[in-house]
A and B are shown apart, each in its own frame.
Chain A
Amino acid sequence: MKYKDYYATLGVDRAASAEEIKKSYRKLARKYHPDVSKEPDAEERFKEVAEAYETLKDPEKRAAYDQLGRHATGQEFQPPPDWEQRFGGGQTVFEDLDLADLFASLAGHRRGGPRGERAARSGPDYEAAVRLTFEQAFHGAEIELDLSGVEYDDQGVPHRVPRRVKVRIPKGVSDGQQLRVPGKGGKGMNGARDGDLFLDIRVETHPLYRVSEQNLYLDLPLAPWEAALGTSVHLPTPAGTVALKVPAGTRAGQQLRLAGRGLARAGGAPGDLYAIAQIVVPSVLDERQRDLFKELAQASSNFNPRTHFETETSREH
């Protein structure tokens, strides 16, 4: 079993008081809790901090932990021999567990076991982060997850059991959404229900499409003459290319809506896709283009795009 230095994780001395441990945990929880933190490795760090605190806040667990002696983090060590009796097993009891499992099962034993326990107890919920590409989120996907959790055998001895679960993700999920897979958490004991598996969905950003709720947005660059005269463009959408008619006189920033081309919605119509017009001018003009633009400017002398400025400027004079 690999040793973890819980005191170092919480940044406290081995002789720290319960109050000092609590204070340090709270400070670190404030910094790394996934609900309040924006630190990049917050979730991982918080798990370590919470695991350390779970053991050190409890005088009995802390005493048991201190009994293990001092080792470097990651160093292999052997729990004291009497611990195997404590957890009711033979030589192999600790082989598939880590330190956190061990102390969690210690708490279980203290409450009356799982060893020999006959009371029904629901299985724990599991939580897993799932990273999807934009395409997987749009079309739905089947993904495989490798999970592991502590389960108790018939003798009440804890084991860490690896499991592979295949999950069908519905189409139209979005970043930050949570999904529930019923019954795929930890095993319930003595006839109680199995826990659920909760999936925290993260969706990678796409170079073209931006997502807001079920709607999608993409930029539609247009040449000035296309915007002025109207045109038809081949527009990529996640479900395939469509022909989009751009009306004459389209303004920059105008949103052209394609109904039902957004993300699927549970029990309702899908969202829409909006193409946002952008007017793009050539960065370099050759002589003929320059002449034509000048001619256009002369022919358009009655067009003032800034009429709304005039009230303000006339007030100044």
Chain B
Amino acid sequence: MNIEICEALRIDEHGELSFAQLIEYSGLPEGELRELVAYGALVPRDPGAAAWSFEASALSVARTAQRLRHDFELDANAISLLLSYVERIRDLEEQLRALRAGVAVGR
């Protein structure tokens, strides 16, 4: 059987997402995405612009938000708070990984 090969893209590979793309790819309704922006969980490149655009990494944040909203039945305020903790944990895990990587393990 001949199977077509598809390219897997890094989520942050293509620099920018429009607001419409973020709605389409994240599965979150527009109103909730706007609330996440209002609570600071998602930051548009230029918040004052007529048409918002986002760093491509915003998709990862929005998808996490979508999961948390659905799975824990949370509102946008609670999601924003939780996202800030999830983000902090990820940063700390990365720092821990960097520290562990840079220290000789010994034999």
Contact = CB atoms under 8 A, between A and B. Distances in A.
Interface of A: 26, 29, 33, 35-36, 46, 50, 122, 125, 142, 144, 164-170, 173, 177-184, 193, 196-199, 210-213, 215-217, 219, 221, 252-253, 255, 266-267, 274, 276-278, 280
Contacts of B98: 212-213
Given A165-B6, A266-B10, 16 more contacts: A29-B72, A164-B3, A166-B5, A167-B8, A169-B8, A170-B9, A170-B13, A181-B8, A198-B63, A210-B100, A211-B97, A211-B101, A213-B98, A215-B101, A219-B104, A219-B107
Contacts of B86: 35-36
A181 B60 contact: no
B30 interface: no
7 contacts: A167-B7, A178-B63, A179-B11, A197-B6, A212-B101, A216-B101, A276-B102
Nearest to B107: A221
Contacts of B75: none
Contacts of B63: 178, 198
Contacts, number: 106
A168 B103 CA distance: 33
B4 interface: yes
B11 A278 contact: no
A166 B1 CA distance: 12
B27 to A, nearest CB: 7
Nearest to B95: A212
A168 B5 contact: yes
A184 B60 contact: no
Nearest to B3: A166
Given A219-B107, A266-B13, A199 B8 contact: yes
Contacts of B8: 167-170, 179-181, 199
A80 B86 CA distance: 45
Given A35-B86, A125-B27, A253-B104, A179 B5 contact: no
B68 A173 contact: no
Interface in B1-37: 1, 3-13, 24-25, 27
B46 interface: no
Contact of B9 (A46, A164, A166, A179): A179
B48 interface: no
B85 to A, nearest CB: 9
Given A212-B97, A274-B102, A168 B7 contact: yes
Contacts of A122: 24
Contacts of A170: 7-10, 13
Which residue, of B9, B59, B98, B101, has the highest number of chain A Cβ atoms within 10 A?
B101
Nearest to A182: B9
Q: Which 5 A-B pairs have the closest CB atoms?
A: A210-B101, A212-B101, A179-B8, A212-B98, A217-B101
A274 B12 CA distance: 26
Contacts of A197: 6
B10 A177 contact: yes
Contacts of A198: 63
Contacts of B67: 35
A177 B86 CA distance: 15
B31 to A, nearest CB: 18
B4 to A, nearest CB: 7
A180 B102 contact: no
A29 B102 contact: no
Given A35-B67, A196-B25, A219-B104, A144 B3 contact: yes
